[in-house]
Structures are given as C-alpha cells and as structure tokens.
Amino acid sequence: MDLWTTDTTPAGVLVAMHLGHMVAWGLPRDRNLRFVRLACVDASGHRLLPGDRAGVDSNVAVTGLLDERPAAAGGAPTSWPVQIIVDGQVVATPALTLGQPFRWPLHLGPGPHAVRLRLWQGAIRMLSNPFLLQVRG
C-alpha cells in the first residue's frame, strides 16, 4: 500500500488511512512498484489526494509519479499501462514510464464524479481510492 501523510505518528497514519489517502497493491515478490505521488489537480491549482472529496473546476488532471524500489532490473518492464476510470468507465489507458512524472487531463461535466486509477497486468494489481469530485456547474 502507498499511503500519503506528513504525520508519520501512529495517529497520523490512522487519520490518513481513514481519509483514504492510499492505493492498494498486489505484487509478486520480485516487484515493488509504488506511486511516489498521485494527485488530482483542477485548473485553479486545487490539489487532491486519493480519498479526498471536493468541489473542482471542470478541467482537472490526474498527476503523479510511478516508480519501483529497488530500480527495475535489466530486462524488466519500465512502462506500465494504467487505466484512468471516471464513474466506472475506463476513459484512458496511458503507459506510465517508471521514474517519469505524468499528467493526464480530463474534462468533466457538471455534477459528481469518481476518478480512480487501476493497473492490472499479470500478477500485478493496483487500485487507487477514488478522487470524489463535485464539478461546479
């Protein structure tokens, strides 16, 4: 699991988990993929973590950085297809390159939306908690 918090005390970690600031991974022993950062940013610069709920502008972008610890061994994949899911529908499947920041723009209509990421390839599984967005009309 990747968990985002600035407070690493047990209480701080529990608060971050309660807020859903995480992605869940299922990985074989020889892989250790992680999102160094993952956010949803609207046009006004409002930055959300997975699990956050907020009102946003209609133009948002999913941003982040996928990496592996330790670095990928020779011959191991360095690019992974990640599905961007809006309201239960896959809207894009960009290939994210390890160690390279990404930004995927989305235009959402007015109303509530749930945006999440999913990586499902072979024995590797990842699902982010959703960004819960209310687009201002």
In this predicted structure, the answer to whether residue 56 has a pLDDT above a threshold of 90 is: yes
Helix (H), strand (E) at residue 18: helix 10-19
Read off the pLDDT of residues 67-115 as tens digits, 9 standing for 90 and up.
987 655 555 678 889 999 999 999 999 999 999 999 999 999 999 999 9
Which segment of 16-20, 80-84, 111-115, 127-131 scores lowest on mean pLDDT? 16-20
The domain that holds 29 is classified in CATH as 2.60.40
Contact 24, 105 (CB under 8 A): no
Domain total in the chain: 1
pTM above 0.85, yes or no: yes
Structure tokens of 131?
Answer: 């960004």
Percent of the chain with pLDDT over 90: 57
Structure tokens of 70?
Answer: 């330790």
**Phi, psi values for residue 12, rounded to 5°:** -65, -40
Largest Cα separation within the chain, whole Å, is 49
Q: Quick count: other Cβ atoms within 10 Å of Cβ 26?
A: 12
CA atoms of 22 and 39, how far apart (whole Å) = 11
Read off the pLDDT of residues 24-41 as tens digits, 9 standing for 90 and up.
899 887 788 899 999 999
Range of the domain at 73: 2-135
